[in-house]
Structure formats: structure tokens, C-alpha cells
Amino acid sequence: MNAEHQNFLSQTFGRKSKAKIRKVDSKLAVKYTRVSGGKQMENDSLENQEKAINEYAERGGLQIVATFGHTHESAKTDDRKEFQRMIDFCRRSNGKISTILVYKMTRFSRSGGKAITMAEELRNKHGIHIIAVSEQVDTSSSSGIVMQDMQLVFAKWDNAQRKEITQMGMKSKYEKGEWLTQLPPGYDVVTVNKERKILINAEGKKIQKAWRWKLEGMRNEDISAKLAKMGLFMYPQKIHKIFKNPFYCGLIAHGILDGKVVEGKHEAMVSKEDFFKINEIRQSSTRFGIQHKKENENMPLKVFVKCSACGEGMTGYIVKKKNLYYYKCRKEGCNCNKSAKDMHKLFLEKLNPYTIKNDLSPAIAFKYEIAYLKRNKENIAQKNQYENRLKEIGEGLDNLDDKHYIKNEMTKEKFDALTGKLNTEKMKIIKLLDDCSVSTSNLAQKIIQASQISRKLTEFWQSGGYDKKTRLQKLVFPDGIAFNKKTGALLTPKINQEIVEIARLSGDLAINKKGLNTPQSAKSLVAEKEGFEPSLPCGKHAFQACSIGHSDISPNWATKVR
């Protein structure tokens, strides 16, 4: 085959190999340092990493244009803040950055396969190579890439080994009764004579009362309300979790113990006997258990209705011969009682005036939504301003990165000053945004749902089970109702203004005759995305009891009841 034929074949059929690795002719580099914990920081590990990287860059003629990390970040995942900031910066460098310098590959990542994929993307797509200055490999060759991949796999294996050793140590301590992770509410770690102790704090003293109230038969919703009056705000669900946690009776149950429960060295908040009673474990311990009494469907007003003479919640009982239920005052000698049938009739009479007679749901929803938006107009506008400013700050930080690191148009001193100022402003705005909790999502639909239930309040209460009845009655009359044995009448100390407002907007004559069509009722026009919490101007904090029964609720109360 002559040269002419060879040239023809080469041009016609020859294929050129596709370069898998993008080449970047640049001496610009970034460095990333990190430590896994406080001990490494105390041993100046960060300074050692910095020194080794700087010396390598100087020998190789690399110019470090940006520094990332220099803090405590775990490498078991790649969702680290500084790590991601570095990766994003490199991707946005448009081929100007050629190298990422780290001390060891374990400093870069311990995520194994994910890290290998990321390193491959940086090489092939952006032409950026990762160099561990203390264990150098040439990633411009296939053998060097394989070596680096092995380093990343080893980093993950090493992390798994460390985790296993750590867990063994933790398990040993847990078996000895030492609690190591986050403490449940009501406890603090204190040092007494150089000894670590877990003791009940001031909040715990209040929680301790909740155990006693529960033993007395009080519902979690009522316990939540009583704690709120003492300045401790807890949802009923959180109280439920506390009552289930054996930590409070001095026991330790942790997943690392493989199902074992051991005696803890911490201070117990409640006796084991009382803990077992509350958790209804008679089937496993006849000594400590008590039989669980299911809430009686025939007495939904129990405790909710109070005796007007002494203020005690009324309990219930049954006359078995007649199969009739009665409510009675719990105070000895009060002699206040009423048949459940008559009491329910009185309650329905109290509930009926707040039932919308006409199907005006769409009109009510429109008027209610307009009132809500008008009241929260300033908050919504302020929230939009904050969000726009956050977007501007983000763009400003990106521009500063480009000017300093890529274009070299700004000194480090000026860069640090400007970025510090913008980040400070950013944190303040994020804090202010948290205070502007205004939501208009599905507002009209929520109001329609609320008004639909308002048209069927009595029907809803009569047809519902025990739970629905108690939730609805607490919603309409947040502070309960009182029975006057002298007059035989029910008193309603507090009415949910949201329901009053819906009835008022409907133009219901019964509501207007009761004098509830007043300017004050319009003050209830508030709604929150979280649920039962009134709207406040931006910059102010508010916490309200989130259980059903609060006087100021949002239109999504209908969803809560259902």
C-alpha cells in the first residue's frame, strides 16, 4: 500500500479518538481545607493543611485565587455548605480554574461513589483536577484516575470503620446508663465536681406537673393549655411523646442497644409506677398497670362543661338500671348534676345561633378574603420587598466572586468587607422574613370550607363521634361552658370570634339580635399558614396555643376539625 492509498484511507475511514478529559491551560487554583471536629481544630490541623497546600502551589507555580472551607464540616455527605460553595464556584469559572487543592482525599470527600462521579464531572466537563498534596497522583492518565478513585473509595471505607468504632464506644456508654445524644425537653447537662450529670431544669419542673395532671385524668389538650399559662408552650402531640418516653422515669431506650432498656444515671422526673400507669401496660405488669378506660361516646361534654358555682369540670356516670347518663360536679358536696340528654339539648341550643341559615358561602368567602388581604396588605408588601432584596443580595455576592476571584478587579480586603456586609444584611432579612408569616394560599377555599361547616354546626356535632364532638365544641367555645344548677342554664364565657364573624357576615338575624354585629368582631379577620395563630406585623414574634380551642383561628379550622 503506497502513501497515496494510505492517505486516502486515513481521510475517508479514519476515526479520531474523542478526548475524554478536557484540558485547561491555566495556573489558577482553589484550595479547600476542613476538619471533622473540634479536637482537630485545637491541634491546628487547619493550619497544617494550609501550609502544605500553599507550599505545593508555590512549587508548582499555581496561583490560589479562592479559599474555601477552613471550618468544621463532616465529609460523609457532599451537602456541606463550604464544599458546595467551592464546587459551584469552580463550575461557574468558565474554564479558568484548573485545580482544586486539598491536603488529603479524605479532606475532599468520604462519600465514595458520589465523590468519584463528581471528580469525573469536574475533569471531563470543566477541566478541573483534584490534587491531594500529601498523596499526589497524576489524573491526566487513566492509571492516575484509577488511583484517585481508589483513594476516594478508601476514604469511605475508613469513615465506615471510624463509625463502627465510635458506635461500639457509644453502645458501651449507653449500656452503663449514660445518655449521649440530644436530651428530651426538661433536662440539662451540668458539671458537678467535674462530673457530668443530667438534671431536671426549670422547664422540667413545669413538665413534672403535667405527669401529675395526666394521672388525674386530664386530657393532653387541657394540659397544653395549663402549661401555656405557666409560660411553657407545647402542642398536645409533643406532650403525648413525652408521656411515651421512658427516659423520664429514669430508663434508657436507644436503638443502639438493640431493644434493651437499661437504668439511666440521669435524674428521673416521674416514678416508674406512675409512668407505667400512664402508659397503660397492665398486660405486662399487674402491679403497675391500670385498665384503660375508653372515652364514653355518650358524654362528650365531660370536663368541658364546668359547674358555675365552684368552677370544677363535671364528670359523668351512668344509672345502670335506667341506662341513663348524667353529668355531675367533681367537687364533693356540690351536688350539681344534670342528665346527659338534657345537657346535650342545652348545648345544641347554645350552638344553634352560630349556624348559618342561608347558603351564602361564596359571598362570605369573598367578603372574608377581601378583609383578610386588606388587614395584611402591609405585611404582604413588606414580605415581597424582603424577598426581592434577598435576590439582589444573592446576585451581588455572585458578582463580587467574579470580580475578585476571576477578573481580579477587587482586592481581598475590599471583597471581604463587601461580602461581610451583604451576608450580615442577608441574615437580618431572613430573620425578618420569618416574622412575616402571611399566607394567601387557597384562602378562598379554606373560607368556603369553614362557612360550610358553620351552616351545619349542630348537625356536625350530633353526627360526629367523640373526637369530632370534643374538637368542635372546644373550637366554638374555647374556654368551655358552665352549667348553672340554680337557673338550669348554660353559660358561654368565650366564643370563637372567627365563627361569630362568619355568622355576622351572613347577615343572620339571630346573630345580629344578640348584639354580635359589632366593629370588634371584625378584629378576628386573621389567618396563618401554620393554623391557629393570629397574624402580627413583621418584626414581632407571636406564639399562641396551637390546639383546637384558640379564640383567634384561621379559615383552615374546617380542615382541622374534619
Going by C-beta distance under 8 Å and a sequence separation of 6 or more, which residues neighbour residue 367? 505
**160 vs 538: which has the higher pLDDT:** 160
Q: Please answer whether residues 559 and 470 qualify as being in contact, where contact means their C-beta atoms are separated by less than 8 angstroms.
A: no
Mean pLDDT of the chain: 76
Q: In which region does residue 86 sit, left (phi positive, over 0), alpha (psi from -120 to 50) or beta (all else)?
A: alpha
Residue 153 resides in a domain: yes
State the pLDDT at residue 529.
Answer: 33
pLDDT at 73: 61
Residue 160's pLDDT is what?
74
Q: Do 509 and 356 meet the contact criterion of CB atoms below 8 Å apart?
A: no
Confirm if 108 and 76 have CB atoms less than 8 A apart: no
CB 116 within 8 A of CB 146: no
Grid coordinates representing 366 are 369573598
Q: Do 94 and 139 belong to one domain? A: yes
554: in domain: no
Query: Is 519 part of a structural domain of the chain?
Result: no
Q: Do 142 and 45 lie in a common domain? A: yes
Residues 263 and 392 in one domain: no
Statement to judge: residues 164 and 191 lie in one domain: no
In Å, the largest CA–CA distance within the chain is: 125
344, three cell numbers:
346535650
At 350, give phi and psi (nearest 5°). -75, -35
The predicted-structure confidence for 187-232, as pLDDT tens digits, reads as follows 999 988 888 899 999 999 999 999 988 888 888 888 999 999 999 9
Residue 403 included in any domain? yes
Find where cell 379554606 sits: 446
In a domain, 511, yes or no: no
pLDDT the model gives residue 14: 63
Question: What percent of the chain lies above the pLDDT cut of 90?
Answer: 20
Structural domain includes residue 215? yes
Q: Give the domain-ending residue among 368, 402, 435.
A: 435
The answer to whether 246 and 259 are in contact (CB under 8 A) is: no
243 and 162 both lie in a single domain: no
358 or 48, which is more confident?
Answer: 48
Output the domain CATH number for residue 267.
3.90.1750.20
Residue 486 lies in a domain: no
- Assess whether 137 and 94 both reside in one domain: yes
Helix (H) or strand (E) holding 89: helix 81-91
Buried/exposed code over 302-319 (b: 16+ C-beta within 10 A; e: otherwise): bbbbbbbbeebbbbbeee
The pLDDT of 469-482, averaged and rounded, is 89
| Predicted confidence (pLDDT) per residue in 225-279, tens digit | 999 999 999 988 899 899 989 999 999 988 888 788 899 999 999 999 888 888 7
550, 532 contact by CB (below 8 A): yes
The pLDDT value recorded for residue 433 is: 76
Let me know whether 158 and 205 are in one domain.
no
Which comes out higher in pLDDT, residue 112 or 364?
Answer: 112
Phi-psi category of residue 549: left, alpha or beta, with phi > 0 → left and psi -120 to 50 → alpha: left
pLDDT tens by residue, 272-325: 988 888 876 433 433 333 344 456 788 999 989 999 988 888 988 999 888 899
Q: How far apart are CA 185 and CA 174, in angstroms?
A: 19
* Residue 394 sits in the same domain as residue 429: yes
Least confident window among 36-40, 296-300, 501-505: 36-40
Structural domain of 148: 28-168
Residue 319 lies in a domain: no
Tens digit of each residue's pLDDT (9 = 90 or more) over 360-381: 666 666 666 776 677 677 777 8
Q: Of 15-24, 69-78, 383-392, 426-435, which gets the smallest average pLDDT?
A: 15-24
DSSP E strand boundaries for 314-437: 314-319, 324-329, 337-339
pLDDT for 327 equals: 94
Among 263, 278, 293, the domain-final residue is 278
Residue 23, pLDDT > 90, answer no
Classify burial at 95, counting beta carbons within 10 Å of its beta carbon; exposed 0-12, middle 13-18, buried 19 or more: middle
The pLDDT value given to residue 300:
92
Distance (Å, whole) CA 185 – CA 435: 25
Q: Which of 88-97, 104-113, 137-146 has the lowest mean pLDDT?
A: 104-113
Predicted confidence at residue 507, as pLDDT, reads 56
Q: Above 70 in pLDDT, residue 550?
A: no
CA distances (Å), origin 248, targets 200, 210, 529:
10, 12, 33
Between CA 545 and CA 550 the distance in angstroms is 7
226 and 95 share one domain: no
d(CA 128, CA 140): 11
Amino acid 147 reads M
Same domain, yes or no, for 160 and 40? yes
Model confidence band, residue 57 (pLDDT cutoffs 50, 70, 90): very high
Closest by CA position to 503, among listed 364, 347, 371? 364
The model's pLDDT over 515-540, given as tens digits with 9 standing for 90+, comes to 444 444 433 333 333 333 333 334 33
Angle between helix 81-91 and 113-126 (nearest 10): 20
Going by C-alpha positions, the residue among 335, 285, 290 that lies closest to residue 312 is: 335
* 43 lies in the same domain as 157: yes
My answer on whether 63 and 135 are in the same domain is: yes
What is the phi-psi region of residue 468: left when phi exceeds 0, alpha when psi lies from -120 to 50, beta otherwise?
A: alpha
> The domain spanning residue 123 has which CATH number?
3.40.50.1390
Last residue of a domain, one of 98, 133, 168: 168
What pLDDT score was predicted for residue 524?
A: 39
Domains: count for the chain: 3
Q: In what order do the strands lie in the sheet with 481-484?
A: 305-307, 481-484, 489-491
Tens-digit pLDDT profile for residues 487-499 = 999 998 888 776 7
Confidence of residue 147 (pLDDT cuts 50, 70, 90): confident
